[in-house]
């Protein structure tokens, strides 16, 4: 029986990249750290950039595209994004020229080799941001949602009961409220197109997790307004996912590859 594997290369406000592998198909979801770091972290988990089938981009913010330009130009990595996201990346010219070689449409399944991916709209301050539901032959399902101010019902329904859920748990409300950010930035983060707090993420997981869910990975934690310990405490307090029979819950590593998850 074939097994899919999932490992984060980076996760947080300073950069994000997730590697998903199945039967020789290796897909990066986002390339938000430098090309050098991506190559090094891939090597540390046993992969070469030449083995990567594509990088699927969720949106145009720098912590999701930082390495995409160099990897596409120097390594020939196939970059995929929605049409509007491609246009924004090109118009802003923040990572140099990116020869995008594949676009996808939200709410319409597309394939990278034998792996089916559906991009779903997320409420975030970007031009056309996406979450992803990845379906593997045999029925296993992985859902990845970071950078969203709230969880819309269609996205919630699509993610519910996934074998693995990667969900943003960006900030602790008290740390953000009393932290050094300007008021306008705080309001943007806490707004409907900003990010999920630990408590909101925990309450969302109460709805998303079913008996089929084996793993929950908390992702995209803020470097200044959160800690892994505080995020996990919120999950224990509000999501009630630390009892017998519940999925394994962990926090994605910020600056290094995390653990491998097998589906």
Where do the domains of the chain lie, and which CATH numbers do they carry? 5-257 (3.60.15.10)
In tens, the pLDDT along 57-90 reads 999 999 999 999 999 999 999 999 999 999 999 8
Cα–Cα distance between 211 and 173 in angstroms, integer?
A: 30
In tens, the pLDDT along 88-129 reads 998 888 888 877 778 999 999 999 998 999 999 999 999 999
Distance of CA 25 to the CA centre of its chain: 18
How much is the pTM? Answer: 0.96
In tens, the pLDDT along 219-254 reads 999 999 999 999 999 988 887 776 556 799 999 999
Burial 231-246 (b: 16+ CB within 10 A, else e): bbebbeebbebeeeee
| Joined tokens for residue 27 | 């897909």
């Amino acid at each position: 029986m074939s097994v899919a594997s999932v490992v984060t290369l980076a996760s947080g406000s300073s950069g994000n990249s997730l590697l998903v592998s199945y039967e020789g198909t290796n897909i990066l979801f986002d390339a938000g750290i430098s090309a050098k770091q991506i190559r090094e972290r891939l090597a540390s988990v046993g992969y070469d950039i030449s083995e990567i089938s594509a990088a699927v981009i969720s949106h145009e913010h720098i912590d999701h595209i930082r390495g995409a330009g160099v990897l596409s130009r120097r390594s020939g990595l196939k970059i995929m994004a929605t049409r509007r996201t491609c246009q924004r990346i090109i118009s802003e010219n923040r990572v140099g020229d990116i020869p995008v070689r594949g676009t996808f449409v939200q709410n319409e399944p597309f394939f990278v080799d034998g792996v089916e991916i559906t991009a779903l709209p997320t409420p975030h301050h970007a031009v056309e941001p996406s979450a992803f539901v990845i379906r593997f032959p045999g029925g296993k399902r992985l859902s990845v949602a970071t950078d969203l101010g709230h969880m819309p019902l269609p996205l919630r329904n699509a993610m519910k009961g996934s074998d693995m859920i990667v969900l943003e748990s960006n900030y602790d409300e008290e740390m953000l409220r009393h932290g050094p950010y300007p008021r306008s930035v705080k309001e943007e983060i806490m707004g409907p197109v900003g990010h999920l707090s630990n408590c909101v993420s925990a309450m969302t997981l109460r709805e998303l997790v079913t008996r089929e869910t084996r793993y929950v990975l908390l992702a995209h934690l803020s470097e200044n307004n959160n800690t892994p310990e505080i995020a996990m405490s919120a999950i224990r307090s509000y999501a009630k996912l630390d009892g017998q029979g519940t999925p394994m819950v962990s926090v994605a590593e910020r600056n290094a590859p995390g653990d491998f998850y097998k589906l």
